[in-house]
Amino acid sequence: MTAWTTEISAAAKRIAPYARRTPVMAGVDLGLGRPVDLKLEQMQHTGSFKARGAFNTLLSSEVPKAGIVAASGGNHGAAVAYAAASLGIKARIYVPEIAGPAKIALIEEAGADLVVVSGVYAKALEEARAYEAETGAMQIHAYDAPMTVIGQGTAMMEWEEQGLAADTVLIAVGGGGLIAGALAWLQGRRKVVAVEPDLAPTLNRALAEGPDTVVEVSGVAANALGATRIGSICHGLAAEAGITSVTVPDEAITKAQAILWRQLRQLVEPAGATALAALISGAYKPAEGERVAVLVCGGNIAPDPLAAPVAGRRAKPQG
């Protein structure tokens, strides 16, 4: 189905003035015994690929006068807030207090009208829906909407334009927006490996047990990869492509974060290191001579490494 690739090409043109062309590296020695190709998509605006889908959605939609609304304590919320602010669109983001100060600050900096809701995500979503009903504002889905998937697909298109040579691309999966975009763009031209935490095996379980499978999620990457049910677009594309799906322990994710920092001075969140973790844990063993690429997808680590001194400066003097 070439409609996807046509749509992704159009999206790339649409978002080009707003989204960042993120750097790539070929044949990087990370001390793993084999070179790895990398795309550093955590350098995208607001620190993850999510800005691509957010811009594509806003730029291809008739946005109501009431603007947009989202409930998110994470990368999607930050991306939507940033994209809306960049385009002069009113955005209301409901954030669960449990998201923590780093993510809340990120969304605030991105420029949204931010409401911190006491409690967990479900409470924030409830308030977001009430706001939607009341004002007519538009909800933007984080991963299971065509314009979101098409926007994320521009990352893989861009990587190929930048000369990607790998046979196989490893991609972390949460709700599946990023990998769905990659599959939609690649149309089987390269092997795609889906990597999920052992503790959030949403796609893995859905491929085995059916698209409606609901999983429990936890672990170090849960705040970014912790969708409990895989997106239907992702499931459809992954099942059709006969994708390779693997899962990795949290220890391998943490080790991958350490390798990216120590070998390459790239400090990323657990989700951003999850794809690399499959090479470290051996969850994915490339064949002799198989060239592999890893998409580094998110950098919003908590605690914020520069937050401590800021907090220190803000502290009130004692006495």
List residues near a second copy by CB under 8 A. 20-21, 23-26, 28-29, 40, 42-43, 47, 109, 254, 257-258, 261-262, 264-268, 299-301, 305-306, 309-310
Residue 121 CB partners (closer than 8 Å, separation 6+): 71, 73, 96, 98
CB of 42 to a second copy, least distance (A): 5
CB of 115 to a second copy, least distance (A): 22
In this structure, the number of other CB atoms found within 10 A of the CB of residue 218 comes to 12
Half-sphere exposure of 207 (CA within 13 A, CB side): 20
Tokens of 298: 């998110």
CB of 263 to a second copy, least distance (A): 8
Q: Which is nearer to a second copy, 204 or 300 (CB)?
A: 300
Q: Which is nearer to a second copy, 111 or 211 (CB)?
A: 111
Question: Residue 192 forms beta bridges with which residues?
Answer: 169
CB of 257 to a second copy, least distance (A): 7
Q: Which is nearer to a second copy, 42 or 148 (CB)?
A: 42
CA 234-9-196 angle, 5° bins = 25
DSSP string of 31-63, one letter each residue: SSSS-EEEEEGGGSGGGBTHHHHHHHHHHTS--
CB of 109 to a second copy, least distance (A): 7
Tokens of 271: 């989700």
Pairwise CA distance, residues 186 & 192, whole Å: 9
- Secondary structure of residue 96 in the 3-state scheme: strand
CB of 299 to a second copy, least distance (A): 4
CB of 187 to a second copy, least distance (A): 28
Q: Which is nearer to a second copy, 65 or 265 (CB)?
A: 265
Pairwise CA distance, residues 221 & 207, whole Å: 21
Pairwise CA distance, residues 130 & 127, whole Å: 5
Q: Which is nearer to a second copy, 119 or 305 (CB)?
A: 305
Q: Which is nearer to a second copy, 266 or 281 (CB)?
A: 266
DSSP string of 303-319, one letter each residue: S-TTHHHHHHHHSPPP-
Q: Which is nearer to a second copy, 21 or 285 (CB)?
A: 21
Q: Which is nearer to a second copy, 136 or 305 (CB)?
A: 305
Residue 182 CB partners (closer than 8 Å, separation 6+): 152, 153, 155, 156, 169, 171, 192, 295
CB of 154 to a second copy, least distance (A): 17
